[in-house]
Structure 1
Amino acid sequence: MQTGIYAVLGVSQALTMFMMGVVFALLTYYASQQLHMESIQRVIYAPMNFFETTPLGRIMNRFAKDIDTVDNLIGGKRRKF
């Protein structure tokens, strides 16, 4: 009897953890997509003065390294929350 209860609890915990992982993965994906689209729109609609004073490498760095860092950190921090 107790073994069956433990089995049910174990399976329910596994399913709950799986569903939580799926939900957090989807939330991370949509948050990352939103942040990326907002940053692209801000750069596209930036005044020409911005492009004259900001080096192209710095702009590219924002879209390469920084967005990747945000993508990887959002998921890890949400799981810990």
Structure 2
Amino acid sequence: MISTVKDLAAEALFVSCLQPSEDPTRATLEDAITTMILQYGSDGCAAGVATEFGDHPDVAVRRMRWVQTELDEVVQMHAPVLH
């Protein structure tokens, strides 16, 4: 279940207008993800990712790498602290 949620978040962030140069905060990332899911739904986000990988694979790979890095940081921030 968690990987499915993370995959959807990655697709939504990928199709958002956010750029790495903006150095978005966690709240900005979460807002962008939510907005894209509400606007396009899971199928629309996935279709946007597929289109970009088909049309501009070199750029899409770099963007997805950035998306994954950002999401990894968000997940780490939400991870429980074990003592």
User: Is TM > 0.5 for Structure 1 vs Structure 2?
Assistant: no
Q: Which TM-score band (shorter chain)?
A: 0.3 to 0.5
Kindly indicate which of the two structures has a greater share of residues assigned to helix: 1
Greater relative CO (CA pairs within 8 A, separation 6+): 1
> What TM-score do the two structures reach when normalised by structure 2?
0.35
Task: Pick the structure with greater CA Rg.
Answer: 1
